[in-house]
Amino acid sequence: MADVIAVKYDGLNLISGEFQTHSATVKDINQTLNDALLTLKNGGWLSPSATAFYKTLDEDVLVGMGNLIAALNQAGQTIASINATLQNGEQAAASSLPT
């Protein structure tokens, strides 16, 4: 017996869109954080503690946020690609059947 695959294409489109939306939201937050950090670095907070704080933000937090943005984008694109592949496969299978 062949395996059965059931797909809700609209649902996959929604999920893909959610990943893209969350990616854009995190990107906006990242930009806001960068803007605030620039203000602080340009005289808003100068001290040895500030230098350590900036280093942590630059090397850990902002890098992590960039990775999150990339992962969310990739997840959305991958789901969209899976959706398209399954739709194309269904159409190809349907077109090979006699009418």
Q: pTM of the prediction?
A: 0.86
The gap from C-alpha 45 to its chain's centroid, in whole angstroms, comes to 32
Contacts for 17 with CB less than 8 Å, ≥ 6 apart? 76
* Alpha helices, DSSP H, located in 1-99: 9-39, 48-56, 62-96
Domains of the chain, residue spans: 37-77
Predicted local distance difference test score (pLDDT) of residue 97: 87
What digits encode the pLDDT tens for the residues 41-96? 999 999 999 999 999 999 999 999 999 999 999 999 999 999 999 999 999 988 98
What digits encode the pLDDT tens for the residues 5-50? 899 999 999 999 999 999 999 999 999 999 999 999 999 999 999 9
Are 7 and 84 within 8 A, CB to CB? no
